[in-house]
Amino acid sequence: MTAESGALRPAAHRFAVDVPELELADYQRAVRLVLRHPLITATWPDERALPRVRRFAATLRRDLAEAFGYRLELHGATARLVRVKDQLDGTQPAVSRTGRPFDRQRYAYLALCLAVLGRAGIQITLSELADSVAGDANRITGLGLDPDHGPDRRAFVDAVGWLEERGVLRLADGSSAAWASDPGAGEALYDVARDVVFALFRPTRVVQHVESVSALLGRVMTSSGNAERRLAAQAARRAVVESPVVYHADVDPVVANHLRGSALAADVARLTGLRVERQAEGVLLVDTAGFTGERFPGTGSVAQAAVLLAVEMADRVVDPDGRRVKRLAPPDRDSRQQSLVGEVDAGLPTATLVRLDDTGPAEPWTTGDEGGPDESDGAGRLPFVTDSFLRTAVGEILARYGTAFGAQWHADPDRLRAEAMALLERFGAVTAVPGGVLVRPLVGRYRHTVAAVKPRAMTETLF
């Protein structure tokens, strides 16, 4: 991947125009805060967050609306960023306090909890909440909730814990852990933050009128008019701040045109204080301020294994002495989206659907040799690396850096491979396909990475 030519030309700032330069860093911190945490309360993500947002409320409202098409609402002790989604993303699920990704059951319980809390008073006990949610869930075919059934109870507690973390529920008395262990003996009393309840659930359409989740997505740009260009520019900025890496091939051509321009990099840098790296195949936001919740490269065995696997894959693709790497066409972008849409729509409660007539609409990244084929070569074909190669590579990594990985990973290398590849896919480095993965250009930037084991007093880690 070769860097695009042309330096940024000075231009009048379009954003943060009324923010003094001495306060610009604080303003950018507030922008990053709101983008990372669309719901901010008196305690979530911490006690300092809400005052930071309120300090720049007027400017934030204007800039977030103009730059991204988002709407910032502040009511009581709550700030809520109502975002526009251009496509479904299955890589950023809600997670429990223990890091468990939410499944369909947990999402359903979360939605039902919000419905119950919207009808509740200022306090509610955990058992009352469970009984009300169970009453609603048991009327939904295939769902149900039995507090005496361990898996149901754990899923319900994960949903309640998610609400507790964000200040929707505040423990006033008792113990939620005691109820979770024994619903018949334990109890907990919660204060209900009703302003947070109403701020949290903000669909862009009346949900009972939505026949498909695709109706909740943003509109597609099809014209070249000024209004459509403005919408395309907003979609391009949204893609940069919402995705680890944005490939031109993964977005509409009109959005890709804005990604290639220098104005986008300047706008995003002015708003967030972060640098946009532009390359021939796409762009990424260089996170130097802890903007994202998950970082790559990162710490921990899985992240370290992922970097080492990226090195192995990059070397495999360009190995002049190895067998020629097969190249395959990546899954069609629209078909991937349709697959996700189908998965979500499969859970729609069609019995309560109200049908309407109209529902509405650095290092070069490339893994090829210099001057050789890239992602655009061969009608967009990408190098294919087999699961067999990855299993062998993980075995060699564990043998080479054995002291850096715990015994549990040596005992279960397939789990380490699966989690490392899942991390790489979340960051846009690979695309999983049957039998292996397609290597995307971002992997190329780790081609010359050299790892070493650093001894420490009690443990040893990579890098």
pLDDT tens, 133-173? Answer: 999 999 988 899 999 999 999 999 999 999 999 999 999 99
pLDDT value at 208 more than 90? no
CA 207/CA 43 separation, integer angstroms: 29
Q: What is the CA radius of gyration of the chain?
A: 24
Give the span between the Cα atoms of 127 and 130, in whole angstroms.
5
Instruction: Determine phi and psi for 170, rounding to 5 degrees.
Output: -125, 120
The residue type at 45: P
Residues 177-193 have pLDDT tens digits of: 888 888 888 899 999 99
10 Å Cβ neighbour count for 134?
19
Cβ atoms of 2 and 364 closer than 8 Å: yes
220 pLDDT above the threshold of 80? no
Q: Is the pLDDT of residue 67 over 70?
A: yes
What are φ and ψ of residue 148, in 5° steps? -85, -5
Mean pLDDT of the residues in the chain: 84
pLDDT tens-digit readout, 263-279: 999 999 999 999 999 98
Q: Count of alpha carbons within 13 Å of 411, Cβ hemisphere only?
A: 3
Question: Does this model's pTM top 0.85?
Answer: no
